[in-house]
Structure 1
Amino acid sequence: MPQTMQHIPLARSGSRRNTWLIGGAAALAAAALIVRQKTRQAEHDNPPTGEFVQVDGVRLHYVERGQGQTVVLLHGNGLMIQDYETSGLIDLASRNYRVIAFDRPGYGYSERPRTTIWTPQAQARLIHRALLHMGIENPILVGHSWGTLVALSLALEQPDYVRSLVLLSGYYYPTVRMDVPLVSPPAIPVIGDLMRFTVSPLIGRAIWPGVLRRVFGPAPVSERFRMEYPTWMSLRPSQLRASAAEAALMIPAALSLRKRYHELTIPVVIMAGDSDKIVDTHVQSEQLHGELPHSTLHITRQGGHMIHHLAPEEVLAGIDQAATAVGAELRGQNSHVFPAPSQIN
């Protein structure tokens, strides 16, 4: 009898553990169903709006508008073409330029094969081949945030191909970043796959408003972005993997590029906000400007990370400057500070 009673606590403990396991599995299954439904709905509501180009077995999605000198837009981490759409920059620039905005590999409707480590250099080579396939020569490259690393890589690897650079809110030098270990787990094989198809999109949706306040701050979130940007497209499992992988690659990518910046001889327009909460403008943009004696630096007062939303006209002016600059000998150590824009789109 005493021996039988000794087994009762163990049996109860095992029963509770089984209950927790069954409950956890059921919760993950429910989360997976929700994520699947949200992903399908997002893709149904937001079909591809542009064209596709196949390069090296990878299909890239892009939109093209306007005529004239080609301007190529490369978005930041976690975003896609619609970021430039909702900022109004595509509409503004296409009045005077031929504008091509890519979904970078893994974002929007562009593929991102898992057989490749998509460093900035790998993406730059893919974008370069795509542009050649499209018959485009000597484009102006505009990169925002992580997209600046791709733009820089393409300019460094193909210095005779790229006409000029416009770099927005870029991350150029390795620094300690506490956000990397928080956002990179979905890129881990197996465990990350489980997270991406279950809890990560739901957590991402819950924190989305706070993330937007941080990346847009100190300005309020653009009303057009808030109303028109397809949030669940960015929270699809495939895009979360791309975003997590790029978060993990960000510091080593900057480390690999920083020793080569001095090789740049093309016009470089550097733009940033003085109140960026994502990257330190002094450590990043101002330092890069100091290293490139022929670059120009434009600082927007009270500007955050999303300066193309806060001040698209200023960004267009930067593109105009990059389009008219013709040689390093015509460029000097120029720095401009713009007043805070009165409103955002």
Structure 2
Amino acid sequence: MDMASDDVVVDGVRLAYRDSGEGEAVLLVHGTPSTSYEWREVAPRLEAAGYRVITYDLLGYGRSERPVDRDTSVAGQTALLDGLLAELGLDDVSVVAHDIGGAIGLRLALDRPQRVRRLMVLDTVSYDSWPSETWRAVIDDHLGEYHGLSQEEFDALLTRQLEMTVSEPARMTGDVLAAYLAPHRSATGRASFFEHQVRHYDSRYTEELTGRLGDLAVPVRILWGEEDRWQPLHYAHRLATDIPGAELRVVPGAGHFVMEDAPERVAEEILDFLGAN
């Protein structure tokens, strides 16, 4: 299933998206290194339950435009998300967001609370949790010289990172691994990966939210893979303490890409959350 089959122009840039189903609107925001592809086993379950589901590729990711002169940080992506909702005619929406998408969702809920009906964050970056140790090594070793990487070297680098996202390595092989690597199968794709994603792995975008988490005024659920090697579980507990009324659910046997390890559980949690509020 193509999770970003259509295009819309937001603030002068093209975003690839998919809008399917009828009913209450639910927006799924992906993380990094990823695209809306990560929601392929979750979105159909939500649609079948009677929800309108919107997925999209962040600017500089997947099928969306890769401009050389636009801010693709968490802050820049939050402004674009606000514009995307306006383009789609959505006054408010339930947001389900993963990894850096979680930080985008939190910023949107704080800066534009009227836009967010409820918020679920999955294995989100927060506080000083990112970049992880292995991503810091990638930044130190390659950010300034990535043009010298061959396709084979790049694929090996990203594969090593992607293998850390799941608790069961076999889940990140074959067609699934190929789909995660596909947006970067060119010199432009490799450059975009470093310029639009890695260059913006910066915890200041989440640390500046720390003192504001207590101001969140929407229902929040936190879903976390117990075996997440990038975002350790103690960050989930800290968020649950700092966000008023937040509810934490932990998924045993799941890693950072919890929707790859446990798509049925993720869909069940989302549906439960949507129905509970």
2:218 aligns to what SS in structure 1? coil
Other-structure match for 1:84: 39
Q: How does 1:89-168 map to 2 (within 5 A)?
A: 89-95=42-48, 96-168=50-122
Structure 2 CA distance for aligned equivalents of residues 48 and 160 of structure 1: 26
Query: CA contact under 8 A between 1:74 and 1:101: conserved in structure 2?
Result: yes
* 1:58-89 CA distance string (max 9 Å, x none): 1111012211111111111121122222xx01
Query: In terms of mean alpha carbon deviation, does 154-163 or 175-184 score higher?
Result: 175-184
Match of 2:182 among 226, 232, 254: 232
CA distance in 2, matches of 1:208, 1:113: 22
Q: Secondary structure at the match of 2:114?
A: coil
**Which AA in structure 2 matches 1:290?**
T
| Cα distance, 1:201–1:163 mapped onto 2, change above 3 Å | farther
Shift of the 114–256 alpha-carbon distance from structure 1 to 2, 3 Å rule, reads: farther
Give runs of ≥4 in structure 1 deviating > 6 Å: none
2:207 corresponding residue in structure 1: 255
User: What are the within-5 Å matches in structure 2 for residues 179-198 of structure 1?
Assistant: 179-184=134-139, 191-192=144-145, 195-196=146-147, 198=148
How far apart in 2 are the matches of 1:269 and 1:175?
19
User: Partners in 2 of 1:99 and 1:48 — Cα distance?
Assistant: 10
Q: How does 1:1-345 map to 2 (within 5 A)?
A: 50-85=5-40, 88-95=41-48, 96-175=50-129, 177-184=132-139, 191-192=144-145, 195-196=146-147, 198-199=148-149, 201-218=151-168, 220-221=170-171, 226=176, 229-235=179-185, 236-237=189-190, 238-247=192-201, 249=202, 251-282=203-234, 284-326=235-277
- Scaled by the length of structure 1, the TM-score of the pair is 0.71
Q: Measured at CA, do residues 148 and 223 of structure 1 come closer, stay the same or move farther in structure 2, by a change above 3 Å?
A: same
1:135 aligned partner, one-letter code:
G
Equivalent position amino acid for 1:91 in 2: P
Structure 1 spans left out of the alignment, 5+ residues: 1-45, 327-345
CA separation of 1:175/1:89 partners in 2, compared to 1, >3 Å: closer, same or farther? Answer: closer
RMSD: 2.6
User: Helix, strand or coil: the match of 1:272?
Assistant: strand
CA shift digits 1:23-51 (9 cap, x unpaired): xxxxxxxxxxxxxxxxxxxxxxx999511
Aligned partner of 1:23 in structure 2 is none
Identity of aligned residues (%): 25
Q: CA deviation at 1:290?
A: 1.2
Please say if residues 141 and 166 of structure 1, whose CA atoms lie closer than 8 Å, have aligned partners that are also in contact. Answer: yes
Task: Choose 1 or 2 for highest CA Rg.
Answer: 1
For residues 98-121 of structure 1, give each alpha carbon's deviation from its aligned partner in whole angstroms, at most 9, with x where no partner exists.
111110010012124343333322
In structure 2, give the amino acid aligned to 1:317. E
In structure 2, stretches of 5+ residues that fail to align are none
1:248-298 CA distances to partner (integer Å, 9 max, x unpaired)? Answer: x2x11121111211111101110001111111111x111101112311111
Query: Is the contact between residue 15 and residue 58 of structure 2 (CA under 8 Å) also seen in structure 1?
Result: yes
Q: What SS does the corresponding residue of 1:229 show, helix, strand or coil?
A: helix
Deviations 1:184-205 (A, max 9, x none): 36996xx55xx24x41643221
The code of the aligned residue for 1:205 comes to D
Higher helix share: 1
